[in-house]
Structure 1
């Protein structure tokens, strides 16, 4: 895993979280219920949190490993993007139920990423 790939991933996650956050705050506000909008915002927040973590790790390359990178990257994709899919499909009346178990799997990968970072720090 190169420093450049980590920084690119962080940049893409950050960019998309701003776009999705604005999309949620403006375009989706008229379509989603308050509960759906809150769920969507959770996905955006976690995506941005992990964009920042990846940015810090990319700038402090000695603190990361490929396992940490992949846990944070796959965890963010599975967690946040499954929330987006669940919320948007629910708003359209055709909830993609298969995404339900994907969200906690993504969350588990994020937890593992943080645990690996802690272990690596020691």
Structure 2
């Protein structure tokens, strides 16, 4: 696969849109307003982090071997599964035990963004099209 993060980002956004529509139309009369808010939080975080994965995929085109970007991408995907997934199951199925999983997803998100910030402080790789080659 050319770009796992582009694939998972696009898939995450696709599923996020579907989950958002399901929540807005299918769940609004089935679960409490509080649980609908929990569900919507899962959708929101999934969508933002799906876009984050797509961003990482695009950045990796310049430096495909970056360990920081690779870790950031996998942590972001892990965060989507743990954070958003646990909120979906909590809201729909009432599995309160999954509330213990949600913070691990949140920490995964935080670490992913931290690694992306660290990457941003690193010296940029030499461009093939530097001003000297003109």
- Does TM, normalized by the shorter one, top 0.5? yes
**Partner residue of 1:30?**
29
Aligned-CA RMSD value: 1.4
Larger Rg belongs to: 2
**Partner residue of 1:74?**
78
**Partner residue of 1:118?**
117
TM value normalised by structure 2: 0.82
Q: How does 1:1-122 map to 2 (within 5 A)?
A: 4-61=3-60, 62=63, 65-90=69-94, 96-122=95-121
Separation (CA, whole Å) in 1 of partners of 2:82 and 2:76: 10
Q: Structure 1 residue runs of 4+, over 6 Å off?
A: none
For residues 27-76 of structure 1, give each alpha carbon's deviation from its aligned partner in whole angstroms, at most 9, with x where no partner exists: 00110111111110000000000011111111121376221111100011
Separation (CA, whole Å) in 1 of partners of 2:81 and 2:99: 14
Contact 1:3 1:58 (8 Å CA) reproduced: no
Separation (CA, whole Å) in 2 of partners of 1:98 and 1:48: 24
Contact 1:71 1:109 (8 Å CA) reproduced: yes
SS in structure 2 of the partner of residue 27 of structure 1: helix
> Alpha carbons of 1:97 and 1:35: their partners in 2 closer, same or farther (altered >3 Å)?
closer
**Partner residue of 1:93?**
none
Structure 2 unaligned runs (5+)? 122-134
| Cα drift, residue 97 of structure 1 | 3.0
| Cα drift, residue 112 of structure 1 | 0.6
Aligned length: 116
SS in structure 1 of the partner of residue 28 of structure 2: helix
TM value normalised by structure 1: 0.89
